[in-house]
């Protein structure tokens, strides 16, 4: 079966980092999605996403971990290269995994270089104020950086799980005012965009109105300049439905049904049939 071709309203032009700023000015909502392999990268690219995030969510989605902490830089390099080879127009953003950028700015630059050599066009890292110097160091060597503040999954243990942030006021980690400080710090350090994850929608809208760089929301409401979701959530391949993540299809059901049909045809001796056999 062939896949549908991209609709007429999907620009064929390769999305580049400077386009992100233009999208914000033009009010073009940025559609970003995660992908980790060539097959899905090709499909989501064809479907017209603006950017593909090779997220460290690969740890939970593909590797079966309960959080993103275990995934290694070498593994991210592998997935970034698979995605970058397959896509033709969407911007490819590679996630810096836990432990690959927190030690020093030099470590962060070296890790970013590895993702860029694998085909990323920008890197993403988690953290606001505390990561400003790191963002600056990476940006200074002309590697575009996407920030990520709010519910930062690599802070799983500090947060005590995946917890919505910004519901309390104050400048301590997770406080509303702190998130505004984080957003400004990320922008001033030179980030080209920032992911806002797991924060109240009014706070996300306020940050979006105050920043000149685009905000990409996940669990942050409609007021962001764009949205990102994990591919397996969008396709309904995940076992659970997160409050903020809609299943736009039920591929889980379809995968099980197709496999059940295969098992039953093999057992019945009706597969392979004549048409699929060599003579």
Catalytic positions are 197
Does 56 bind ligand KIV (CB under 6 A)? Our answer is: yes
Six-digit token pair at 212? 């000149």
Give me the 2-41 binding string for ligand KIV, x by CB under 6 A, dash otherwise.
--------------------------------x-------
* Residue of the chain from 15, 76, 228, 235 that contacts ligand KIV (CB under 6 A): 228
- Nearer Cβ to ligand KIV, position 53 or 86? 53
Q: Which residue is nearest to ligand KIV (CB)?
A: 55
- Nearer Cβ to ligand KIV, position 180 or 218? 218
Does 57 bind ligand KIV (CB under 6 A)? Our answer is: yes
Tokens 């920043």, residue located:
211
Smallest distance from the beta carbon of 218 to ligand KIV, in angstroms? Answer: 5
Contacts to ligand KIV from residues 188-207, by CB under 6 A: 195, 197
Does 154 bind ligand KIV (CB under 6 A)? Our answer is: no
Q: Which stretch in 50-58, 81-89, 131-139, 184-192 sits in contact with ligand KIV by CB under 6 A?
A: 50-58
Smallest distance from the beta carbon of 219 to ligand KIV, in angstroms? Answer: 9
Smallest distance from the beta carbon of 71 to ligand KIV, in angstroms? Answer: 9
Does 81 bind ligand KIV (CB under 6 A)? Our answer is: no
Does 121 bind ligand KIV (CB under 6 A)? Our answer is: no
* DSSP codes joined into one string, the chain: -PPPPPPTTS--SPP-HHHHHHHHHHT--EEEEE--SHHHHHHHHHHT-SEEEE-TTHHHHTT--SSSTT--HHHHHHHHHHHHHH-SSSEEEEEPPTTSSSS-HHHHHHHHHHHHHTT-SEEE--BSGGGHHHHHHHHHTT--EEEEEES-GGGHHHHTSS---SSB-SSSTTBHHHHHHHHHHHHHTT-SEEEEES--HHHHHHHHHH-SS-EEEESS-TTSSEEEE-HHHHTT-SSS--TT---SS-HHHHHHHHHHHHHHHHHHT--S-GGG---
Residues lying near ligand KIV in the complex (CB under 6 A) are found at 34, 53, 55-57, 95, 195, 197, 218, 228, 230
């Amino acid at each position: 079966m062939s896949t549908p071709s991209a609709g007429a309203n999907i620009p064929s032009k390769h999305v580049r980092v400077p386009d992100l700023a233009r999208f914000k000015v033009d009010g073009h909502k940025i559609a970003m999605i995660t992908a980790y392999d060539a097959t899905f990268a090709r499909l989501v690219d064809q479907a017209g996403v603006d950017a593909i995030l090779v997220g460290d969510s690969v740890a939970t989605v593909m590797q079966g971990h309960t959080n993103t902490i275990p995934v290694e830089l070498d593994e991210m390099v592998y997935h970034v290269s698979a995605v970058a080879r397959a896509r033709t127009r969407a911007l490819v953003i590679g996630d810096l995994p836990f432990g690959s950028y927190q030690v020093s700015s030099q470590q962060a630059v070296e890790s970013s270089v590895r993702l860029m050599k694998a085909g990323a066009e920008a890197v993403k890292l988690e953290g606001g104020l505390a990561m400003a110097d790191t963002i600056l160091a990476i940006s200074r060597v002309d590697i575009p950086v996407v920030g990520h503040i709010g519910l930062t999954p690599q802070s799983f243990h500090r947060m005590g799980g995946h917890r919505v942030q910004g519901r309390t006021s104050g400048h301590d980690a997770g406080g509303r005012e702190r998130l505004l400080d984080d957003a400004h710090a990320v922008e001033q350090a030179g980030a080209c965009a920032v992911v806002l994850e797991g924060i109240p929608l009014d706070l996300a809208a306020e940050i979006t109105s105050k920043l000149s760089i685009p905000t990409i929301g996940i669990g942050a409401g409609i007021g962001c300049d764009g949205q990102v979701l994990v591919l397996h959530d969008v396709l309904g391949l995940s076992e659970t439905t997160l409050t903020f993540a809609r299943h736009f299809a039920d591929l889980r059901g379809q995968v099980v049904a197709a496999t059940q049909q295969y098992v039953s045809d093999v057992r019945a001796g009706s597969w392979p049939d004549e048409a699929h056999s060599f003579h």
